[in-house]
Chain A
Amino acid sequence: MEKKVDQKQNFLKGIIKENPVFVMLLGMCPTLGVTSSAFNGLGMGIATLFVLLMSNMVVSLVKSQIPAKVRIPAFIIIIASFVTIVEMVLEAFIPFLYEQLGIFIPLIVVNCLILGRAESFASKNNFLSSIYDALGMGIGFVIALTALGATREILGNGSIFEMKFVAENANTFILFILPPGAFIALAYLTVLFNKISIKSTS
């Protein structure tokens, strides 16, 4: 019984209490770079979720076989392999998304969220816990990126998931589509998220 509560905790903490973007501020490069539309945020989130899940699984399985001194290069090789697989699969089967995400797919390798979870969680916990941890963190990341992308798209382009709800020539806050808008939107969303989550826990 106690074990089950533990797994639920492993899963849920990534979504709210330790949300990788809004609370831990990890993986800022893709967070700021690709979230110019809700669809891009979602696609990047799901690609990262997949890599995180696979790397957490593999790391938790081989952890006892890896000498401590070379664990970081070993983790990076594992992560880089899965990122390359994601890149090849996307190019072959979802070319549209592959073009949109572009350079940010190879950059998943250096997303500190993934290495962070491998190092601080998967290398210390068992297989099942690592899956729950990866799913929770990954979904937290997807939610954060989609929310940020949606905010920027709504304000900057007057659309959501490419469905326009303002007139064709309406003036929108173009700033939010441009890089500075990413920082502004992220800051306000972080404040909002933390206000809500603090209220709900206290």
Chain B
Amino acid sequence: MKKKPSTFLNMLITLFVITVIAGLSLGFINELTLEPKAKAKLAKKTKALQLVLPEFNNNPVREVLKIKSDLAKDSVEIYTAKFDQKIKGTAVVGSTEKGFSGLIKIMVGFKPDGGINNIVVLEQKETPGLGTKMKEEAFINQYRDKNPGTSNLKTSKDGGEIDALTGATITTRAFSDAVEMAYQVYSDNINAEKDE
């Protein structure tokens, strides 16, 4: 078991060969996982849509509307659910950077009258056991059937109607923030459509 001597050429060749092999195998695996990755993302989106929207029989993912908004970094996605061509509801992806650990992304489903149908958390990095309780039924239920245009969805500490999660006031504020942002985009979009 003789080791290769550390000559300049040996070192150069060894590192070159190793990086080439590593690069090639990574490229190969990336190619291999590209499709399942996209599929997993789509499945997640579809599942979230089914949860936040009333029953629909169109394909909201295909009819997605992406609009630019000052309220979010990226464009905001708006999904419209139709049942036999009749609009049943609209889902908007709301996001905020004000979470306890940064980005929170939620999908808010609105009924045609602007009331909230349901909310699903898409992305979050909140503290497990505290902020993550925003996924729980008891918390999300506070938002259901409320219209952000007429109800004050801030926390009760800030004079609103929402009871903050114990030990996670920042998360709750951020969550309400994201809901209000989603509503803003939703109502702006409706007004824009009316103008046309």
Contact = CB atoms under 8 A, between A and B. Distances in A.
B2 A64 contact: yes
A95 B44 contact: yes
Interface stretch (B11-19, B56-64, B85-93): B11-19
A172 B44 CA distance: 32
A78 B44 contact: no
B123 A77 contact: no
A65 B18 CA distance: 11
Nearest to B39: A92
Contact of A85 (B6, B25, B41, B128): B25
B40 A88 contact: no
A6 interface: no
Q: Is the interface of B mostly helix, strand, loop or mixed?
A: helix
A70 B130 contact: no
Contact of B129 (A88, A102, A156): A156
20 contacts: A64-B3, A65-B14, A67-B6, A67-B11, A69-B6, A69-B11, A70-B6, A74-B14, A74-B18, A77-B18, A78-B22, A84-B26, A91-B37, A91-B40, A92-B40, A102-B125, A156-B129, A157-B128, A168-B138, A177-B128
Interface of B: 1-7, 10-11, 14-15, 18-19, 22, 25-26, 29-30, 33, 36-37, 40-41, 44, 123, 125, 127-130, 138, 167
Given A36-B128, A64-B4, 12 more contacts: A62-B18, A64-B2, A66-B3, A66-B14, A77-B22, A81-B26, A92-B36, A92-B40, A93-B40, A174-B167, A177-B129, A177-B130
